[in-house]
Structure 1
Amino acid sequence: MRADNADTCINIDHVNLDNNYKNRLVEASVQTTHLVPYRLRFWPGTNCDVKLSPSETNCALKAKCCCRILSQWILSQVGLTIVVTIWALLGALAFFNTEGPREQEQSRTLAKIQKDLSKELANGLRESIDRQEEWPFTIHRYFERHESLFLEAVGAGFGEGGGGNIWTYPGCILFAVSLLTTLGFGAPVPRTSLGRGAAVLFASIGIPLHFLLILNIGNLAAIQLQKLSLRNSSTEIPTAPRPKWLKLFPFLSILFYYLLGVGLFGFARRRDPASCFMFPLDFTAAGGVATVDGQIRIFYALYLEMAVTLAAIVVSLLQASATRGIVDIGLKLGLLTNT
């Protein structure tokens, strides 16, 4: 860069900037950066400001206006919540109609085969009553056949929940929510072709919609918490340190929510302390979800959904501070540059 009243040139690369000046530059850049992320409207809009080209008719205007209003209703947080809720209930109904009859029929078939084997064993022992030395071999053959039958039934999905029925409608609601949240923690697996096809279709549409909804709810809640912290703070400078309660909110909220689940699904059901603190295992296929009442399955589905929502809020709150902290560490270690 050339000075106005001199012929000398100043090489800007040789100018030494002290740390305070660098920090002021960083803070200035943070202040001028748009930190509030865009998100969907909470309430649907009714704006229909559509312009027509000279070649279009009034019918095209009405069609465009209807499409615009419909998209504003669907792609709002309220509208998207309604859509995802209806989609989850419809998905649960599809799983109930495809997997429920198979599970009931399998239970009846297995009970009938076990009864027939018991009769066959009794008849075999009665016929060989004069040859009691053959009884151990007869009983051994019975146990082998029963074991093979039981293993085949388990491989087909019988008894996934430790007894009882998994694919009741409340159980299907829990499965649909676990599929939407992409957690799938110990969830049962559809066995029929229609059930698996329904799961693929349900997940391909529901997961993106659910992800969009949770992301926007997390951003909205995080922004409202930040506004509340600035309102109660003595300064409104964007780069000022956040209040202590806002820093501790992610960790305390997760701890509180977990203890709430311990109380609701553990101690309220009069379980032992170890089972209370391991309550999420009780609602998985391996943990015996089939033995849990239907109402509790629905409550756990709601608890799981709120847990994912809380996680989105925590991620939104930690995003800005975590990004800034990573940048600070990178600058100290000489890993980052802005040239």
Structure 2
Amino acid sequence: MTKITPLSPRWRYAIERRVEDERQLTIRAVGDGARLKPGRFWDLPGTFLFAIYVMTALGFGAPVPHTLLGRTSALLYAILAIPTHIYLMVNASTCMIVHVEAYTKHLKDNFCGKFSEHKHDFRCFGIIGAGRCVPLATIAYYIIGVVAFGILRNKTPLETAMFPLEFTTTGGLEHVEGYVRIFYGFYVEGAMCLLACVLAIVRRHGSSIFSSISEPCRLFETDACELCSSDKERI
């Protein structure tokens, strides 16, 4: 039977120092958002959600490329995608708001003309549509997200209320199913459309101070939408 000799103090110190260095590196990596058992981020649904995050400039908690080629490609994509996305959202939302307001005015005039004696019965509709339905649309869109990404997935009440946090690297995005990532990407894009519509409403019905700030930058131009203006005049 072989007898094990005790380690020398110098050798023992080197082993303990190595173990301590590994422990510190592990703690630092976990603190930076790394996982001991990482999941897959860069599959097709993951890259789709990452593209939405970059295009909408919502980079909070999103996965980030680690290689030089990946970071360079993401930077070039952001330089092209973010201004293009903002431009399309602003113009599309402006045209949509013009058409919706013209159609709403048309319906209101017809109802007021036919049911003028029951005008007081329609006050509730004015209360519901307060602020041009912006608060109602915002609450309804949040409820859709709560139902789709929380209740239907059997999440806890806290996770249901804070469902956007799940779609971050620290919130457990690597464990989210691929089809759920895709649906959440479309949900984020819809939220940006809603925000663009709110900005278009503020631009059309906001104060002169807001107009004087935005017009020199040409952020919200409605004169170029000749189709919308002509449709509004016909209605």
Shorter-chain TM-score above 0.5: yes
Pair 326,204 (structure 1): closer, same or farther in 2 beyond 3 Å: closer
Runs of 4+ in structure 1 off by over 6 angstroms are: 127-130, 136-139
- What residue in structure 1 maps to residue 59 of structure 2? 184
For 1:311, the aligned partner's letter is L
Instruction: Report the counterpart of residue 275 of structure 1 in structure 2.
Output: 159
> Displacement, 1:250?
0.8
Partner of 1:228: 103
What's the counterpart of residue 26 of structure 2?
150
Q: 1:259 aligns with which of 143, 148, 151?
A: 143
- Whole-Å separation in 2 of the counterparts to 1:175 and 1:156: 19
Structure 1 unaligned residues grouped into runs of 5+: 1-126, 236-242, 328-339
Deviations 1:113-144 (A, max 9, x none): xxxxxxxxxxxxxx997769x9x989955642
- The amino acid that maps onto 2:161 is F
Task: Compute the displacement of 1:183 (Å).
Answer: 1.5
Query: Within 5 A, what are the aligned runs for 1:164-183?
Result: 164-183=39-58
Q: Which has the larger radius of gyration?
A: 1
- Spell out the pairing of 1:109-258 with structure 2 (5 A cutoff): 143-150=19-26, 158-159=34-35, 163-234=38-109, 244=126, 245=129, 247-258=131-142
Shift of 1:204: 1.2
Q: Which runs of 5+ in 2 are unaligned?
A: 111-124, 212-235
The residue type paired with residue 159 of structure 1 is: R
Residues 33 and 170 of structure 2 are in contact (CA less than 8 Å); yes or no, is this contact kept in structure 1? no
The structure whose RCO (Cα within 8 Å, separation 6+) is larger is: 2
Using the TM superposition, give the Cα deviation of residue 188 of structure 1 relative to its aligned residue in structure 2, in angstroms: 2.1
CA contact (8 A) 1:178 1:184 kept: yes
Helix, strand or coil at the partner of 1:269: coil
Could you say which residue in structure 1 is the equivalent of 2:117? none
Aligned equivalent of 2:177: 293
Task: Give the aligned residue type for 1:317.
Answer: I
Could you tell me how far apart the structure 1 residues matched to 2:209 and 2:68 are? Answer: 49
TM-score, with length taken from structure 1:
0.49
**Range that drifts further, 296-305 or 180-189:** 180-189
Aligned letter for 2:63? P
For residues 131 and 30 of structure 2, the distance between their equivalents in structure 1, rounded to whole angstroms, comes to: 49
Flag the 1:129–1:223 CA change in 2: closer, same or farther, 3 A.
farther
Aligned CA-pair RMSD: 3.3
How many residues align? The count is 191
Quick one: percent identity of the two aligned structures? 35
Q: Which amino acid aligns with 1:220?
A: C
Alignment-derived partner of residue 220 in structure 2:
none
* Pair 1:308–1:128, CA change in 2 (3 A): farther
Q: TM-score by structure 2 length?
A: 0.69
